[in-house]
Structures are given as structure tokens and as C-alpha cells.
Structure 1
């Protein structure tokens, strides 16, 4: 699943010049936890003001919400999410940046995605990422082997196919797959060396390894 599959499209925007009093009224009216702050110009960045911002920077400080403007407590520029980003990467982005929600933007504001959306709408329970990657890895290895047979061990096509295998292996490792003693590429190179009548040149060995 991607960000666009789980995002909330009912997103509310507010001007940076609006007061926190106005922001709170809009949050309550819409039943939201964050508002996207509109860019002032076409070249300006989006911002975000959350209920946490208001609680920590206004309420906790005893300030009058009518005297504080949104731009004083908002985050700008804010973390933004591409609608085609995989849900797992959205979760990783949130973990790495410490944010709980972010606008989904591609040329224009499309919606907002939050940790709640990931938990409530994501398919990570039914389709764990690691299981998916392990299946994709087997497909990639099979494709790399057949590509070598079709185009040759030292071909550009074979190198590209094995690069994909390496990438999937590395990503699977990030998600907890046991680290193999030898990579699929190295095992294939050894296999080719030990097969009868399959002596490889130094160039071929280097191309695979």
C-alpha cells in the first residue's frame, strides 16, 4: 500500500497569520489534530500546526490564544510525503524525523497521513514487508540467473539484474532477515566456478562478484 491509499483527504488549511484561537475552533469543528498552513506564495513552503504545538507552546505557557498567531508555533517547512511512497517508508520517515503526521503533496495538497492512518488502514498485518521482500528476492535471483544465460555473465543486463538482487537482500536485512554467510551473487559465482565445463574468465568472475 502507498501513502495515497491510507491518507485522509479531508484536510483543513489555515493561514499563518490566523490566531491560535481561530485554529482551535477549526480543529474542533473538523475533529482534526492538525492543520496545514497555506503557502504565502507559489514558491513558499507548506507548514503544519498540530494540537501538540498548541498545547506545548500556548496552553502550557499560559498565553492567550487570541494574541498568538499560527506562524509563531507552526513547523515550516514541514515534512511532506509523496502519494506514491510505500506505507513502510512513510512509517520509517516518521520514525526518523519524530513526526506523527505529514501532508501528502504532489504539486498540490492531496491530503494528510498520520501514524493513526498507518495503524488503522495499513496492510502490514496481512502482508508483512519481510515476507513480501523474501518472495521478491527469489524472483530477482531467478531473473538474474536467466539473464546471465541469455545475455552473458559479463553483460550490462546481468549486472543490472544482480544489482537488484543486492538491493532487495539489503532491504530484507533491514527488516530483520537473517544475514546469509554469502550473498546470492557470490553463491552464483561459486556455483558457476564449480560446474564442469563452466570455467570463467577473470572478467566474468569480477562481473558477477
Structure 2
């Protein structure tokens, strides 16, 4: 599931020069905890003003919200999200940055994604990512064994198949913040010690990237 599948297309925005009092009224009217701040022009970036900004930077300091402008307390540029990003990736972004809402941008403002959207509209309950990844790992593991048995340990197809399995395992370990002590290939080598001589791809970057880089020099 992608961001564009669950994002809210109705976006309430506020202008840079609006007062904080104006912003609070918009939040009350539309029951929002934050507002996207409009760009000055196409070369400008979007901003965001949150209820936390207002409480910490205005209310806590005893300032008059009719005298403080949105541009004085907003965050700009704000974190934006591509509509084709997976909902899992957005959940990770929110967890890593502590934000709860972000505009969806592709040349222009398309919508907004929030923690509420992720909770109520995504399919993480019905289709947990860890379960899906484990299924992919098991499938690719079986395919890698078959390819190596048919093509031979020295084939590039065999090496590529194991690289794919290990990439999936690394992603799962990252998501679950676990240390990857033994890969599927290590397990395979215990059964077939001769497989240790398989020519592996560069662990730092793929050959396609290296080839493209060399061509650009």
C-alpha cells in the first residue's frame, strides 16, 4: 500500500503572514493539530505550523497570538513525502523524526499524510510487513537453492539469487532492530561448504551503479 492510497486530499493551508490567532481558528474549525504553510512561489518550500509550536513559542511565553505571525514560529522547509512511498516507509519516517503529519508533494501539493491516516486507513494490521518479508525471504531462499543446484555455484545467477535473499534479510533485521548474525547464505554453506567460493557482488554498491559512475567520469 502506498501513501497516495490513504492520504487525505483535502488540505487546509495557511499563509506565511497570517497571525497565529488566524492559524488557531483554522485548527479549531477543522479539528486539526497542524497546518501546512503555503509557498511564496514555485521556487519556495512548504512549511508547517503545529499546535506544539503555538504552545511552546507563543502561549508559554505569554505572547499575543494576534501580534505573532505564522512565519515567526513555523518550521520551514518541512519534511515532505512522495505519493509513491510505501506506508511502511512513512511510518518509519514518522518514528525516526517524531513528526505526526507531512505534506504529499509531487511538483505541487497533492495531499497530506498523518499518523491517523496510517492507523485507520493502512493495512498494517491485516498485512504486517514482517510477515510479508519473511514469506518473501522463504520464497527467495528456495529459489536461490534451486538456481544454484541447476546453474552451479560459480554462476552469476547463483550469486545474484543469494544477494537478493540477503538484502531481504537485512531489511527485516533493520525493521526489527535485530543483529543479523547468520544469513540464509551462511546457512546454505553449512549444507554445501563448496558454495563458499561463490563469486559475490560488491557489498558496498551494486555493479550497475559502479558502471554508470565510471561512464560519467
The TM-score normalised by the length of structure 2 is 0.81
Distance in structure 2 (CA, Å) of the matches to 1:170 and 1:9: 35
Moved over 6 A (4+): 177-180
* Counterpart position of 1:39: 39
Distance in structure 1 (CA, Å) of the matches to 2:15 and 2:89: 30
* Counterpart position of 1:172: 172
**Structure 1 residue 30: deviation in Å?**
2.5
Verify the 8 A CA contact 1:81 1:103 in the aligned structure 2.
Answer: yes
- Map 1:188-203; keep pairs closer than 5 Å: 188-193=188-193
Structure 2, unaligned runs of 5 or more:
202-217
* Counterpart position of 2:9: 9
**Structure 1 residue 171: deviation in Å?**
1.9
Distance in structure 2 (CA, Å) of the matches to 1:110 and 1:24: 23
**Structure 1 residue 36: deviation in Å?**
0.9
Verify the 8 A CA contact 1:129 1:175 in the aligned structure 2.
Answer: no
- Map 1:4-153; keep pairs closer than 5 Å: 4-149=4-149, 151-153=151-153
Verify the 8 A CA contact 1:186 1:208 in the aligned structure 2.
Answer: no
Deviates more, 1:168-177 or 1:44-53: 168-177
Verify the 8 A CA contact 1:144 1:158 in the aligned structure 2.
Answer: yes
Q: Structure 1 residues 43 and 177 mapped into 2: Cα distance closer, same or farther (>3 Å)?
A: closer
* Counterpart position of 1:196: none
Verify the 8 A CA contact 2:19 2:66 in the aligned structure 1.
Answer: yes
Q: CA offsets, 1:2-37, max 9 Å, x none?
A: 222222111112221221122222222322222111
Distance in structure 2 (CA, Å) of the matches to 1:146 and 1:125: 33
Kindly report the root-mean-square deviation, in angstroms, between the aligned alpha carbons of the 2 structures. 2.4
The TM-score normalised by the length of structure 1 is 0.84
